[in-house]
Structure 1
Amino acid sequence: VPERPAPRGYERPPQENQNYVPDHAARALAIAKGDRS
Structure 2
Amino acid sequence: MTGWLFDLDGVVYTGQAEIPGAGAALNELAAHSPIAFVTN
- TM-score bracket for this pair, using the shorter chain length: 0.3 to 0.5
More helix by share: 1
Structure with bigger gyration radius: 1
Q: TM-score normalized by structure 1?
A: 0.35
Higher relative contact order (CA 8 A, sep 6+): 2
Q: TM-score normalized by structure 2?
A: 0.33
More strand by share: 2
